Amino acid sequence: MAFYYTEPSRTFNEFLLLPNLTTKECTPQNVDLSTPITKFKKGEKPAISLNIPFSSAVMQAVSDHHMAVALAQCGGISFIFGSQSIESQATMVRKAKAYKAGFVVSRSNLTPSHTLKDILELKEQTGHSTVAITEDGSAKGKLLGIVTGRDYRISRDSLDKPVSEIMTPFSSLIVGKSGLSLSEANDLIWEHKLNCLPIVDENQNLDFLVFRKDYDSRKNNPHSLLDANKSYIVGAGINTKDYKERVPALVEAGVDVLVIDSSDGFSEWQKDTVQYVKENYDNVYIGAGNVVDKEGFRYLVEAGADFIKVGIGGGSICITREQKGIGRGQASAVIEVAAARDEYFKETGIYVPICSDGGIVHDYHVTLALAMGADFVMLGRYFARFDESPTKKVKIGNNFVKEYWGEGSNRARNWQRYDTGGKQSLVFEEGVDSYVPYAGSLRENMDRTLHKIKSTMCNCGSLSITELQQKARITLVSATSLVEGGAHDVILKESSMAAE
């Protein structure tokens, strides 16, 4: 006989937080939103923690290298979409990792015998306008010169002009010596009005480049999510079909965290994928999912997953529930999986973070997800609205919108995400092709969202996500209280009237 849950499947809309005492220290500027993304043992620290509890969805319409950099600058992580060629995805990871805070290992290098054509082709490939010219064309070779956009004019210089005639030679460069601090490097940049300072060793071999623009970036992005080498931490999505080819390429490109992208993660295919990564790579972390209950959580954790993604059918462009009758209200899923996570922690002393993926419409839903036990959230529609997402901005009527489609739509052609060992194509859709209202820059919107979350946490008397999860008081709401919670029994002014 089938098992029946007697409790309804509930969404975030059905809950509200009750305030606790707000002490004088509970102000938004005192709230710490850091949170783990990789599992860790009791008494130890996680290998990677986010500075804000946000990740962007593994979607063509959301997460490319531009989003990866923009979100990492805010303190979150982006998972670059995997429904593309292995080479293309690895290139995106490399580009995101190349945006380095501080000392940069040169990613664009040529020899003096190369030509202007090679310079232009490299610039097109990497987006870098500064090219280090070394004796052997390597990132660590003997530095002979530098080429920037100021060293040539495409309208006048021949494409076959050798780099040796274009570059600023080493003898004319201001350089720093290996071992100097970042502060000392920045002093040289400002003293000599440089845009780029090469750092070389005693044999003139290139170690790093330090850029003026990175100084401004660091000042403007104090919560940037960085690795030990001051590169942005970057995630990437994989599937359970070509992982043995895709994972090595992504690791070589420098990826920090992987996640298996699937609508249903409670499968032997996910177990095999997680175990492959764990058996072959020591310092690569992998999340698995999606699941909606204790059984799914346990299965993937015991396979070795570093974090678990929670939610089926709750995304704004997801129609899995409609098409297959599979899924669960996002609040119910998070509550049960969080309880399973806490139970596992008590049994083993190992804490496995969980990510709430889907079901978030309003900013306060993020705070609810965290209060219910999620360590961080994954959002698609939220990020798809911004300048940094990879989709087109178009005008419909008098409004600007951005394209937004699901990985389960025919447009995405991501059959690997939904394959269960059958036909290698998408037989039916589990996502739609749509638009979302254009919202401007990520930073502007993210700052507003973060302030709302911090303000709500202060109302709950909490200065950290862990404290919120311990102190939160959550109540179910009725249909009539939902009406009461919005503007009601008044005549709202039209925007034209308000302008007068």
Identified catalytic residue from 94, 417, 458, 460? 417
Identified catalytic residue from 74, 318, 355, 458? 318
Give which of 389, 371, 327 is closest to 459, Cα–Cα.
371
Q: Where are the beta strands (DSSP E) in 206-345?
A: 206-211, 235-238, 257-260, 285-291, 307-310
CA dihedral 49, 50, 56, 60 (to 10 degrees): -50
Whether 261 has a binding-site annotation, put simply, is: yes
Q: Which long-range contacts (CB under 8 A, 24 or more apart) does 27-31 make?
A: 27/458, 28/451, 28/454, 28/455, 28/458, 30/463, 31/453, 31/454, 31/457, 31/458, 31/462, 31/463, 31/464
Instruction: Give CA 333 to chain center in angstroms.
Output: 23
Whether 118 has a binding-site annotation, put simply, is: no
Q: How many CA atoms lie within 13 A of 266 on its CB side?
A: 14
Residue 74 is among the residues annotated as catalytic for this protein: no
Whether 356 has a binding-site annotation, put simply, is: no
Are 143 and 132 in contact by the 8 Å Cβ rule? The answer is yes
State the sign of the Cα–Cα–Cα–Cα dihedral 331, 334, 336, 338: negative
Whether 315 has a binding-site annotation, put simply, is: yes
Whether 312 has a binding-site annotation, put simply, is: yes
State the sign of the Cα–Cα–Cα–Cα dihedral 146, 147, 151, 156: positive
Are 128 and 149 in contact by the 8 Å Cβ rule? The answer is no
Exposed e or buried b per residue across 481-500, where buried means at least 16 C-beta atoms within 10 angstroms of its C-beta: eeeeeeeeeeeeeeeeeeee
Whether 263 has a binding-site annotation, put simply, is: yes
Q: What is the distance between the alpha carbons of residues 37 and 308, in angstroms, rounded to a whole number? A: 9
Q: What is the distance between the alpha carbons of residues 292 and 327, in angstroms, rounded to a whole number? A: 7
Report which secondary-structure segment, H or E, holds 334. Answer: helix 330-348
- Who contacts 27 (Cβ-Cβ below 8 Å, separation ≥6)? 458
Amino acid letter at 105?
Answer: V
Whether 137 has a binding-site annotation, put simply, is: no
> 3-class DSSP state for residue 410?
coil
Q: What is the distance between the alpha carbons of residues 187 and 181, in angstroms, rounded to a whole number? A: 10
Are 55 and 378 in contact by the 8 Å Cβ rule? The answer is yes
Residue 318 is among the residues annotated as catalytic for this protein: yes
Angle between helices 212-220 and 182-191 (to 10 degrees): 120
- Who contacts 368 (Cβ-Cβ below 8 Å, separation ≥6)? 12, 15, 17, 331, 474
**Bridge partner list, 10:** none
Whether 80 has a binding-site annotation, put simply, is: no
Q: What is the distance between the alpha carbons of residues 96 and 254, in angstroms, rounded to a whole number? A: 9
Q: What is the distance between the alpha carbons of residues 407 and 315, in angstroms, rounded to a whole number? A: 11
State the sign of the Cα–Cα–Cα–Cα dihedral 237, 39, 72, 378: positive
Binding-site members are 261-263, 311-313, 315, 318
Catalytic residues: 318, 417
Binding-site members for NAD(+) are 261-263, 311-313
Binding-site members for K(+) are 313, 315, 318
